[in-house]
Chain A
Amino acid sequence: MSILSVENLNLEIGPAKILEDVSFKLNEGRILAITGESGSGKSMTALSIIQLQPKNAKLGGKIFFRDQEITNKNELELCKIRGAKIGMIFQEPMTALNPVKTVGDQISETIVLHSEKNKKSADSETFNILERVGLNPAINVFKRYPHELSGGQRQRVVIGIAIALKPSIIIADEPTTALDVTTQSQILALLKKLVKEDNISMILITHDLAVVANMADQIAVMQNGIIVEIEETQTLFKSMKHEYTRSLFAASKHSVELPIIEKNSDPLLSIKNVSCRYRLARTKIFSKSNYFTAVSDVSFDIKNGERVGLVGESGCGKSTLTRAILGLEPIFEGRINVDDVDILNAKASIRKNIQVVFQDPYGSFNPRHKVSTLIKEPFHLIKGSIETKKIENKIEKVLEDVGLSADDKSKYIHEFSGGQRQRIAIARALIIKPKLVIFDEAVSALDVTVRAQILDLIAELAAEYGLTYLFISHDLSVIRSITDRCLVMKNGKIIEQGLTKKVLEQPQNTYTKKLIDAVPKLPNFQMEL
């Protein structure tokens, strides 16, 4: 018998149809994955199941939990199901926990709410749960606040809340998307184990096909609010009936052809023994200041025409190093030279040689400026005035180069999608023809198909502009497809470097090996076309 069945679910917010005729059944003890790109309605499906869809949404269709209809229950009855019968795990471990309550309290209040237990016995149960989700009791997690835990640890707490009452179903909405690869593999393993032990059925929502392939028994692929294909995992990967499924799959295995560029032996960027450190808050008024070394003794060169990748997990010092290269971060020791000029004394004329593309296509533009104003910003780095007409021509040219149209220059940034914004960001970086472009996680926030397009674009532009770039990413597949050489960073140090292919295929360092192993891989029961 199916434990959850969704029948013809429709969801409208204003005139927009978010979900259309979504139907599926979840059987006991099974893992159903819902996959698709952002905006496909995955999360809305999840929220609708526990009846927490946005207030202004109109919901149609029926949802049954065992044989009870959820869709016609009142708020009070729903509250008894949420948390107790259906547990929920959300994407963002950073914000999913209340910052002013200890994590122990946040688990134990769920137990108190749904059972007859008093606070004390709920607390002692919480200790067991914390241990079950792999949080070492020795560090006394119970009394800690969320900000004192890492992302992975917080996600364990969120999982703890979800499993506290041994629910029949867990809905996990992108549970590992915000986490590093090694943490991701640990969290996925934990989820798999718990689901098995407690015989929980799970709905796993993720955009990551590789995660889906390794976790799910059954897969539903969603596009624009419609389930286009729903199949057993094996069958789906073998047949791929629907075109969209195939395109998703192709995009996630996407590789680009990098043009071959003559390398010039002079280093364009030279980093010598660079260290950066932060002062930590003092624990006592008169104690000595302690420092945290974010980047320690890093040296490498980037030659003209080289495309270099920098890989590492969050907190490894990539971002600090990037800011140091851009001259936005004080350097404690060492030198960073661009074209043999120290970046710290760099005047505008040298600064114009480095441009950057940031991760967040939503936050990195001033929403009140037109695209043309945004793109021509780097021109202030160039001395002497340039005719307005010339600048206009350049704006149009560069917009076309990145695959947009010249007319887009008079639009505002909110009129563009995430992928288009990233194209604009690239246009802004390229307009003054810099010698070095830094891509700081430039494709991490994008969907697979859009990511594939942007990677293609970068490869194209690399040929056209003869780009030299430093591509910073935590995603090994991106690094593999778009760089010639790569550096692996851990705890502020470069622990391995070499040709990308060689590093990724024959890693020497144990950490690099661990990193590569942790990446979920698409299974090879390949399409029998």
Chain B
Amino acid sequence: MVSLCLASVIIFTIVEIAPGDPASFMLGINAQEDTIAALRAELGLDQDKLSRYFSWISGMLQGDFGTSYTYRSPISNMIADRIWVSLPLALYALVISTLIAFPAGIYAATQRGKVGDVAVMGATQFGIAIPNFWFAMILVVIFALKLRWFSAGGFVEWENGIFQSIKSLTLPAIALALPQASILSRVMRSALIETLSEDYIRTARAKGFGKRAVIWRHALRNALIPVLTIIGLQFSFLLAGAIIIEQVFFLPGLGRLVFQAITQRDLIVVESVVMLLVFAVITVNFIVDITYAIVDPRLRRRV
């Protein structure tokens, strides 16, 4: 709660400091002074900052994000449309990245120092180094232009078939997931290696468990704690950081919305979307915290 309030103040202040008057921007260079003033009054821009801040906040609390300056339509509708692109995209990318990272990380940890480990770590090095918009374009060239398995961009609305929508999100999700998967598998590997050197692993081995059984039964759950932290951070990044990928694939997501809003000085949209992202990040972190307690009984409080 405290962090939400703080975030709202900071966002509002920063956006207000940014140069550019939405009213004069909307009306063009040749606009008359009094027309601009009239528009400012209409948009509520003539009121003092404090009351604008409070009307923004109180509106948001009631689910009313205000009206976009440029599009003159309620922001809540705009966001609602877009979030059904961005949220599934982020989740999809997260699933892909986890599905790649877990096996890769576990494999590398068990092969520590051997060829398999070096190969996986080398691959993740590439994954981190390659800019994902470039990787996205390569994916488009191969899978959309050459093989024609996917379309090169655009989004098929959910009403036209879930499968089609997922298909249209696949390439962007892969592009988004690549660096995340690389980071995650490195974290997985080092967490697992560290766990495997713990005393209780030796105890488990002395009980007669084989190497593989020890990993599944004892090591993995303990190694999951640092991995969860990274997953939490990544989800927020995937949700907010998809701006470029959304541009590359012409996806009508939140990233594109913010991007357009910034170029058009549609301040209220920027503020609202950023606020929403902050909310999402905090929620995700909260979920991660709860998951910690599920994974690690030491973090539970005895009831």
Contacts and interface: CB of A to CB of B under 8 A. Distances in A.
B202 A52 contact: yes
B206 A98 contact: no
Interface stretch (B128-136, B207-215, B233-241): B207-215
A145 B207 contact: no
B206 to A, nearest CB: 4
A84 B208 CA distance: 7
Given A98-B222, A99-B296, A113-B213, 10 more contacts: A52-B205, A83-B208, A84-B208, A90-B203, A96-B202, A97-B200, A98-B200, A110-B208, A147-B298, A281-B301
A80 to B, nearest CB: 7
A87 B207 CA distance: 7
Q: Which 5 A/B pairs are nearest by Cβ-Cβ distance?
A: A83-B208, A88-B206, A95-B199, A83-B207, A82-B208
Interface string A52-66: 100000000000000
B302 interface: yes
Contacts of A16: none
Interface string A70-108: 000001100111111001101010011111110000000
Contacts of B298: 99-100, 145, 147
B295 interface: yes
Contacts, number: 76
Contacts of B209: 79, 83, 113
B199 A113 contact: no
Nearest to B198: A95
B217 interface: yes
A161 interface: yes
B167 interface: no
Interface in A175-230: none
B199 A96 contact: yes
Contacts of A50: 206
A83 B213 CA distance: 14
B303 interface: yes
A100 B297 contact: yes
Contact of A145 (B199, B200, B210, B297): B297
A517 interface: no
A113 B206 CA distance: 12
Given A84-B208, A283-B303, A109 B200 contact: no
A147 B299 CA distance: 10
B82 interface: no
Contacts of A148: 302
A113 B218 CA distance: 14
Contact of B203 (A81, A147, A158, A281): A158
Q: How big is chain B's contact interface, by range?
A: 20 to 34
A161 B205 contact: no
Contacts of B206: 50, 52, 82-83, 87-88, 90
B221 interface: yes
15 contacts: A50-B206, A76-B210, A79-B208, A80-B208, A82-B208, A88-B206, A90-B202, A96-B203, A97-B200, A98-B203, A98-B222, A99-B296, A100-B296, A113-B209, A145-B297
Contacts of A83: 206-209
B171 to A, nearest CB: 38
Interface string A402-417: 0000000000000000
A85 to B, nearest CB: 9
Contacts of A101: 218
B208 A99 contact: no
Given A95-B198, A99-B200, A113 B296 contact: no
Which of B202, B204, B208, B298 gathers most chain A CB within 10 Å?
A: B208
Contacts of A100: 221-222, 295-298
A113 B207 contact: yes
